[in-house]
Structure 1
Amino acid sequence: MEQLTTLDAGFLQAEGADRHVSLAIGAIAVLAGPMPDFETLTTELAHRITSVPRFRQILRTQPLDLGAPQWVDDDSLDISHHVRRAAVPRPGDDAALFRWAADVMEHRLDRDRPLWECWVVEGLAHNRWAILIKIHHCIADGVAATHLLSRLCDGFSDSAFEPEAPTAPRGPRLPALTLNPMDWLTTAWRTSCGVTSATAQALHGALDLAGGLLRPAATSSLTGPVTDMRRYATVEVSLHDVETICQRFGVTVNDVALAAITDSFRTMLLRRGEQPHRTSLRTLVPVSVRSRDAADRADNRVSVMLPFLPVEKSDPIQQLQTVHARMTRAKGSGQRQAGNVLISAANAIPFPITAWAVRTLTRLPQRGVVTLATNVPGPRRRMKVLGREVIRLLPIPPLALQLRTGIAILSYADHLAFGIIGDYDATPDVDELAVGIERAVKRLAELSTGHWRSTPAGTLALVQGG
Structure 2
Amino acid sequence: MAEHLTTLDAGFLQIEDADHHVSLAIGGVAVLAGPTPEFDEVLETIGARCLSNPRSTQVLRTHPLDLTAPEWVDDPDFDLARHVRRAALPAPGDDVALFAEIATIMERRLDRERPLWECWVIEGLAQNRWALLVKVHHALADGIAASNLLTGLCDDTGVTTFASSIGAARHPARRPSLPVPSLNPVDWINESVRWTRSVGKVALRAAGGAAGITVSLLRPAARSSFTGPIGDLRRYSSAAVSLHDVEEIAHTFGVTINDVALAAVADSYRTALLRRGQQPRADSLRTLVPVSVRAADAGDTSDNRVSLMLSLLPVDLADPLARLRTVHTRMGVAKSSGQRQAGSLLVWATSLLPFPVTAWTVRLLSRLPQRSVVTVVTNVPGPRTQLTVMGRTVVRLLPVPPIAAGFRTGIAILSYADEFTLGLLGDFDAAPDIDELAAGIQRGIDRLARLAKSSGRARRNGSPVLSSNG
TM-score normalised by the chain length of structure 1: 0.95
What does residue 17 of structure 1 align with? 18
For 1:282 and 1:454, the matched residues in 2 are separated by: 34
Shift of 1:41: 1.0
Equivalent residue for 1:234?
Answer: 238
Q: CA deviation at 1:249?
A: 1.0
CA contact (8 A) 1:454 1:460 kept: no
* Superposed displacement of residue 270, structure 1: 1.1
For structure 2, the residue ranges without an aligned partner over 5 or more in a row are: none
Cα drift, residue 274 of structure 1: 1.3
C-alpha deviation, 1:155, in angstroms: 2.5
What's the offset of the Cα at 1:174?
Answer: 5.1
Inter-CA distance 165–373: structure 2 relative to 1 (3 Å threshold): closer
2:166, 2:352 → 1: CA distance?
39
Output one character per residue of 1:386-415: Cα deviation in whole Å (capped at 9) or x when no partner. Answer: 100000000000011111100001111100
Residue aligning to 2:40:
39
Q: Distance in 2 between matches of 1:74 and 1:25?
A: 22
Q: Give 1:66 deviation, angstroms.
A: 1.3
Q: Distance in 1 between matches of 2:182 and 2:157?
A: 49
- Aligned residue number for residue 58 of structure 2: 57
In the alignment, which residue of structure 2 is the partner of 1:318?
322
Q: Aligned equivalents of 2:250 and 2:38: distance in 1?
A: 44
Once the two structures are TM-superposed, the CA of residue 36 in structure 1 deviates from its matched residue by: 1.3
Mark the CA change 1:58 to 1:171 in structure 2 (over 3 Å): closer, same or farther: closer
Separation of aligned partners in 2, 1:195 and 1:133: 42
Q: Distance in 2 between matches of 1:461 and 1:307?
A: 23
Question: Following TM superposition, by how much is the alpha carbon of 1:175 offset from its aligned partner in structure 2, in angstroms?
Answer: 5.1
CA distance in structure 1 between the aligned counterparts of 2:137 and 2:198, rounded to whole angstroms: 38
Query: Which residue pairs with 1:128 in the alignment?
Result: 129
1:409 aligns with 2:413: yes
2:288 counterpart of 1:284: yes
Return the alpha-carbon distance in structure 2 between the equivalents of residues 65 and 34 of structure 1.
Answer: 48
Task: Give SS of 2:352's match.
Answer: coil
1:363–1:166: structure 2 CA closer, same or farther, 3 Å change rule?
closer
What letter matches 1:256 in structure 2?
A: V
C-alpha offsets along residues 53-103 of structure 1, whole Å, 9 cap, x if unaligned? 001100111122111111011122111111111101111000000011101
Aligned partner of 1:113 in structure 2 is 114
How many Å apart are 1:31 and its aligned residue? 0.2
Structure 2 letter corresponding to 1:63: P
Identity across aligned pairs (percent)?
A: 58
1:80-91 equivalence runs, <5 A: 80-91=81-92
Aligned to 1:309: 313
- The match for 2:265 is 261
Aligned-residue offset at 1:267: 0.7
Asked if residue 460 in structure 1 is aligned to residue 468 in structure 2, the reply is: yes
State how many pairs are aligned: 460
Check conservation: 1:163, 1:380, Cα contact below 8 A: no
Partner of 1:363: 367
AA aligned to 2:48 is: H
Deviation, structure 1 residue 184: 3.4
Aligned to 1:144: 145
Q: Counterpart amino acid of 1:209?
A: I
> Following the alignment from structure 1 to structure 2, what is the Cα–Cα distance between the partners of residues 201 and 461?
37
2: CA distance between counterparts of 1:347 and 1:177? 32
The 1:61/1:434 distance shift into structure 2, 3 A limit, reads same
Structure 2: distance between partners of 1:193 and 1:377: 35
Residue identity in the other structure for 2:434: V
What amino acid is aligned across from residue 258 of structure 1 in structure 2? L
Q: Distance in 2 between matches of 1:56 and 1:172?
A: 39
3-state SS of paired residue (1:41): helix
Structure 2 CA distance for aligned equivalents of residues 400 and 434 of structure 1: 19
Q: How does 1:64-463 map to 2 (within 5 A)?
A: 64-161=65-162, 162=164, 169=172, 177-451=181-455, 459-460=467-468
CA distance in 1, matches of 2:180, 2:366: 50
The aligned counterpart of 1:26 is 27
Contact kept, 8 Å, 1:382 with 1:413, in 2: the verdict is yes
Equivalent AA in structure 2 for residue 425 of structure 1: D
TM (norm. structure 2) is: 0.94
- Secondary structure in structure 1 of the residue aligned to 2:68: coil
Letter aligned with residue 304 of structure 1 = L
**Shift of residue 177, structure 1, vs aligned partner:** 4.9
Determine the structure 2 residue equivalent to 1:7. 8
Q: How far, CA to CA, are the matches of 1:35 and 1:231 in structure 2?
A: 25
- Between the aligned partners of 2:187 and 2:385, the Cα distance in structure 1 is 51
User: Is contact 1:121-1:131 (8 Å) kept?
Assistant: yes
CA deviation profile, 1:166-203 (whole Å, cap 9, x unmatched): 66758568556545554433332222111111111111
More displaced 10-residue stretch of structure 1: 149-158 or 304-313: 149-158
SS in 2 for 1:152: coil
Question: Contact conserved, 1:17 with 1:362, CA < 8 A, in 2?
Answer: yes
CA RMSD of aligned residues (A): 1.9
Q: Distance in 2 between matches of 1:270 and 1:165?
A: 40
Superposition deviation, residue 207 in structure 1? 1.1
Shift of 1:159: 2.8
Kindly provide the amino acid, as one letter, of the partner of residue 123 in structure 2.
Answer: E
- Structure 1: 5+ residue stretches without partners: none
Is the Cα–Cα contact under 8 Å of residues 214 and 366 in structure 1 kept in the other structure?
A: no
Return structure 1 stretches of 4+ with deviation > 4 angstroms: 160-182, 452-455
CA distance in structure 2 between the aligned counterparts of 1:225 and 1:208, rounded to whole angstroms: 26
Q: Deviations over 1:205-231 (max 9, x none)?
A: 111111121110011122111111111
